[in-house]
């Protein structure tokens, strides 16, 4: 499959999605608002693209619904093996229906999605259809979705419960009571541990032994603690030559957790699973996941913002 990062670029170089969002606030805003509707045109087009990319995806999904056995992992694997990403993010023919949604959708995937919006969409979809079988499948999907949000550390049970309480407060007209509940004036920040041995271990993992890089990693980890986030960091360090590819993921995660104890980094098992997934997406293993635009964007962002290197200059 063609490098999807190139597909999000132009002749002058890659497109910065954040800059694009700032320069096209109305275009992105209208798309993000539309994506908040469960039956929006954009969602329909996305599903249509999945069906067109993989007839097997459509066949398996219909069979799963008929058999009351929805297997999300299998469906995702089918899409990964198809040219779904290329159809979504690739250059579109001028005037095509999807062309105007390509960049807004990429930006929305990276910056606009939220667990809370997904909850609302699933509930609205369940309410809008008069089919008990489909409603049951959506209910199971909701349960699986929430479980993964908690397991992958995207949201905690407390976060999700707080959102549900918020919705109830809006419905009941007592938003102020909800807003006052549990206000905490303290805000912990990540600090490099004073334990010189642990700090040295982290520095020793990096080829440059750069203390400034360690500080920037600590700042980045404050908002990136999911398994896939740490996997992106691991891959970025390996690709940039800062980390020996033979470094066990378990050791890498343990040193990160010990060096930045204020950040509740996900367990090494989840990180290892994410690293394995990223590696499996690259057939030649010389460079990770060129064909996956969202992951490639995240890894290159770490190289640029944290490691301060040009991702295009790394072999």
- Which tens digits make up the pLDDT trace of 44-97? 556 666 776 777 877 887 777 777 676 767 776 777 677 666 666 666 556 666
Residues 222-240: tens digit of each pLDDT: 888 788 888 889 998 988 8
- pLDDT band per the 50, 70, 90 thresholds, residue 36: low
Predicted confidence (pLDDT) at residue 103 exceeds the cutoff of 50: yes
Predicted confidence (pLDDT) at residue 104 exceeds the cutoff of 80: no
Predicted structure pTM score: 0.39
Matching residue, tokens 């520095």: 203
Q: Judge whether 200 and 259 are in contact, CB under 8 Å.
A: no
pLDDT at 284: 47
- Per domain, the residue ranges of the chain are 4-113, 114-183, 196-313
Q: Give CA–CA dist 235/289, Å, rounded.
A: 10
Q: Give CA–CA dist 236/299, Å, rounded.
A: 5
Highest mean pLDDT among 49-53, 150-154, 166-170: 166-170
Q: Judge whether 290 and 283 are in contact, CB under 8 Å.
A: no
Q: Judge whether 299 and 235 are in contact, CB under 8 Å.
A: yes
Q: Judge whether 222 and 189 are in contact, CB under 8 Å.
A: yes
Q: What percent of the chain has pLDDT over 90?
A: 1
- pLDDT band per the 50, 70, 90 thresholds, residue 291: very low
SS (H, E, C) the chain: CCCHHHHCEECCEECCHHHHHHHCHHHHHHHHHHHCCCCCHHHHHHHHHHHHHCHHHHHHHHHHHHHCCCCHHHHHHHHHCCCHHHHHHCCCCCCCCCHHHHHHHHHHHHHHCCHHHHHHHHHHHHHHCCCHHHHHHHHHHHHHHHHHHHHCCCCCHHHHHHHHHHHHHHHHCCHHHHHHCCCCCCCCCCCCCCCHHHHHHHHHHCCCCCHHHHHHHHHHHCCCCCHHHHHHHHHHHHHCCCCCCCCCHHHHHHHHHHHCCCCCCCCHHHHHHHHHHHHHCCCCCCCCCCCCHHHHHHHHHHHHHCCCCCHHHCC
- Which region among 7-11, 89-93, 136-140, 148-152 has the lowest average model confidence (pLDDT)? 7-11
User: Please, what is the average pLDDT of the chain?
Assistant: 71
User: Between these two residues, 17 and 199, which has the higher pLDDT value?
Assistant: 17
User: Between these two residues, 163 and 238, which has the higher pLDDT value?
Assistant: 238
- Which region among 25-29, 218-222, 258-262 has the lowest average model confidence (pLDDT)? 25-29
Predicted confidence (pLDDT) at residue 193 exceeds the cutoff of 60: no
Predicted confidence (pLDDT) at residue 39 exceeds the cutoff of 50: no
């Amino acid at each position: 499959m063609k490098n999807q990062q190139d597909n999000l670029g132009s002749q002058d170089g890659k497109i910065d999605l954040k800059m694009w969002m700032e320069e096209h606030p109305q275009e992105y805003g209208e798309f993000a608002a539309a994506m908040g509707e469960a039956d929006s045109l954009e969602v329909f087009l996305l599903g249509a693209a999945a069906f067109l990319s993989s007839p097997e995806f459509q066949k398996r999904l219909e069979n799963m619904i008929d058999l009351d056995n929805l297997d999300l992992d299998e469906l995702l694997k089918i899409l990964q093996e198809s040219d779904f990403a290329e159809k979504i993010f690739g250059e579109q023919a001028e005037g095509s229906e999807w062309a105007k949604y390509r960049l807004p959708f990429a930006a929305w995937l990276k910056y606009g999605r939220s667990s809370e919006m997904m909850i609302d969409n699933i509930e609205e979809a369940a309410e809008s259809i008069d089919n008990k079988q489909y409603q049951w499948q959506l209910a199971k999907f909701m349960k699986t979705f929430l479980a993964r949000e908690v397991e992958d550390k995207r949201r905690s049970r407390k976060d999700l419960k707080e959102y549900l309480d918020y919705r109830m407060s809006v419905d009941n007209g007592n938003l102020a009571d909800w807003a006052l509940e549990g206000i905490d004036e303290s805000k912990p920040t990540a600090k490099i541990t004073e334990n010189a041995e642990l700090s040295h271990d982290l520095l020793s993992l990096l080829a440059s032994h750069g203390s400034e890089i360690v500080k920037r990693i600590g700042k980045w980890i404050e908002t990136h603690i999911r398994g896939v986030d740490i996997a992106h960091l691991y891959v970025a360090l390996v690709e940039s030559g800062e980390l020996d590819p033979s470094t066990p993921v378990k050791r890498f995660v343990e040193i990160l957790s010990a060096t930045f104890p204020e950040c509740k980094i996900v367990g090494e098992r989840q990180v290892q699973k994410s690293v394995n997934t990223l590696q499996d997406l690259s057939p030649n293993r010389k460079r990770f996941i060129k064909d996956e635009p969202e992951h490639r964007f995240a890894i290159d962002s770490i190289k640029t913002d944290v490691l301060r290197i040009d991702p295009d200059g790394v072999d």
